[in-house]
Each structure stands twice: as C-alpha cells, then as structure tokens.
Amino acid sequence: MSVKLSSRQVGDVTVIDAAGRITLGEGSSSFRDTVRDHIAKGNKKLLINLAEVSYIDSSGIGELVTAFTTVTNNGGQLKLLNLTHRVQDLLQITKLYTVFEVFSDEAVGVRSFA
Amino acid sequence: MPSNRSGENRSVETVLDSTLDSVDTAEQIVLRAATDSGFGEDELHKIGVAIREAMVNAVVHGNRYSAHKKVRLAVSEAPDRLTIRIQDEGEGFDVASLPDPLAAENLLRQSGRGILLIRAFVDEFHVRHLESGGTELSLVLYRTRSS
C-alpha cells in the first residue's frame, strides 16, 4: 500500500494524517505534492501525523527533510507527530531527531506553534 | 531467534528489470526467505528496509532505470545466515567517497542515506566491483543476531 494523506485544520495549524508507506515513487511524490499545495495556499504551520505510517525508506526520509526546509524557507514550521518506534529508529540512525521537533500528543504539538 | 526450519542450504536467483516494480519484487522474495529462515517481525522490517535501499541503489543509481540493464538478485539461506547479493550493470561507485550523511553540512540533504540504512540494519555489508562492470552489494544477516 502506498501512502494515504488527508489534511485537517486545527486552529491555524494544518495536521496532515499520513498512513501506509512513504517510499520512492508514488508515496514520496504524493507527500511532496501535498506539502507544496499547503505552502501554496499559505498554510505554513504543518504538523505531520505519522501514527499510521508503517514504513519510510531513505527517499521518504528525504521528502520529510525537503518538506522541512521548504516550509522553513517560506517562513513556516513543520513538526512531526506520533512516530512509530520504527520511524523513531530511522530518525535516530540518520540524526534527524536533532532537526525535527517531535510530539506524541496532538494538542501539545498544535499549541507549540503559537 | 528460531532456527532454519529445514537446516539446509537453499538459494534463489532471479534476474530483474531496472524498474521500481523490481524493488517490490525483490523485497517480497527476500522477506519470504527471511520468514522461512525464522527471522522475527522487527528483523523482517530491517531486512525489508535494507533490501529496498540496495535495490534502489542498483535500479536508480547503478542501472539508471535502463531497459537494457538488469539487476541480478541471489538469496542464499544457510543454517546460520541469510545472504543477499544484488548485482547491477552500472558504472560503479566508490563507497568511501560518498558524502557522510551524518555530517552537519549534509543533514538536510534530500538524498544519500541509503547506504547508511543498509549498514545499520544488516550484520555485514560488502561492496564489490565486478570484472564485467557493475557493482555487487552483499548483505549478510546472522540468525543469532540480537535485535
């Protein structure tokens, strides 16, 4: 299964719920397009909910990083929510835990943008 | 970790096109063998990540999606280990010259983490340049490996 993405607004924060696999090909391009669409609409506070993401490869990690830099360069913020232990492992291995703000509680994550 | 069910050496070899579908195919073949060898769920996930990264390396960076170039996958099950070999027909690369993806200046690069993930998730990783051209990546997982 490739990735399924849906977006919802919580105040002025856009929560993107992702489910499935973010891998090279359709999965990573869908994620990239979704983030770009939000930036184009002026939604610059993005909280990516990865609770239902079973698998991310290096291409998917690359898309997370690119999304982070794109949002940041546009004056916004991108943070992560609800990492599975496998995704946590990947962020540890790649040292990206030093880059991303990560939350396990959505309300706390949303408030952090204020 | 459970022992190999048959206790015998077995191997599978296949030739794959240089497409992303082949990455999925290779993952399925290797995970079937790893499951049969008794690797657990977390181990299977790590093996899946490693095999996908190695296949993407062969298909994308080695063969550059060429319809004229193939990827050869060999999976060997032995009582103590699972060995996966992936050969491409590309121009080869020097693994020592790859940028360090953990260096501060590279942390925000979009790509370059595949080999890092392979190394993290297998017990042995070898890169060999083939006389015929191309590169062979060897991934070895020991059945006694601790998670």
Contact B111 A63 (CB under 8 A): no
**pLDDT bucket at B30, cuts 50 / 70 / 90:** very high
B80 vs B72, higher pLDDT: B72
Q: Could you read off the pLDDT of B75-101 as tens digits, one per residue?
A: 999 989 999 999 999 998 888 899 999
* Predicted local confidence at residue B6, as pLDDT: 58
Is residue A1 scored above 70 in pLDDT?
A: no
**CB contact, 8 Å: B31 with chain A?**
no
Average pLDDT value for residue range B113-125: 97
**pLDDT bucket at B27, cuts 50 / 70 / 90:** very high
Rounded to two decimals, the ipTM of the complex is 0.89
- SS3 call for B37: coil
What whole-number distance in Å separates Cα of residue A65 and Cα of residue A71?
A: 10
Report helix, strand and coil shares of chain B as percent, to nearest 5: 35, 25, 40
**pLDDT bucket at B147, cuts 50 / 70 / 90:** very low
Domains, chain B, in order of start with CATH, read 10-142 (3.30.565.10)
**CB contact, 8 Å: B120 with chain A?**
yes
* Predicted local confidence at residue A25, as pLDDT: 79
**CB contact, 8 Å: A99 with chain B?**
yes
Q: Could you read off the pLDDT of A50-74 as tens digits, one per residue?
A: 999 988 999 999 999 999 999 999 9
**pLDDT bucket at B1, cuts 50 / 70 / 90:** very low
Is residue B117 scored above 80 in pLDDT?
A: yes
Which CATH superfamily hosts domain A4-104?
A: STAS domain (3.30.750.24)
Backbone phi and psi for residue B52, each to the nearest 5 degrees, phi listed first: -65, -40
Average pLDDT value for residue range B60-80: 95
What whole-number distance in Å separates Cα of residue B118 and Cα of residue A93?
A: 11
* Predicted local confidence at residue B8, as pLDDT: 65
H helices present in B7-144, as ranges: 20-36, 41-56, 114-121
Q: Across the A/B interface, how many CB contacts are shorter than 8 Å?
A: 53
Query: What burial letters (b/e) apply to B32-45, b meaning 16+ CB within 10 Å?
Result: ebbeebebeeebeb
Reading phi first (left if > 0) and then psi (alpha if -120 to 50, else beta), residue B112 is in: left
Average pLDDT value for residue range A95-110: 97
**CB contact, 8 Å: A95 with chain B?**
yes
Is residue B4 scored above 70 in pLDDT?
A: no
Contact B113 A63 (CB under 8 A): no
- Chain B residue closest to A95 (CA)? B102
**pLDDT bucket at A14, cuts 50 / 70 / 90:** very high
Kindly report whether the global pTM for this prediction surpasses the value 0.95: no
| Tokens of residue B119, six digits | 């190394």
What whole-number distance in Å separates Cα of residue A73 and Cα of residue A75?
A: 5
- Count of CB atoms situated within 10 Å of the CB of B77: 23
Across the beta sheet with B70-77, the strand order is B10-17, B70-77, B81-87, B135-142, B124-129
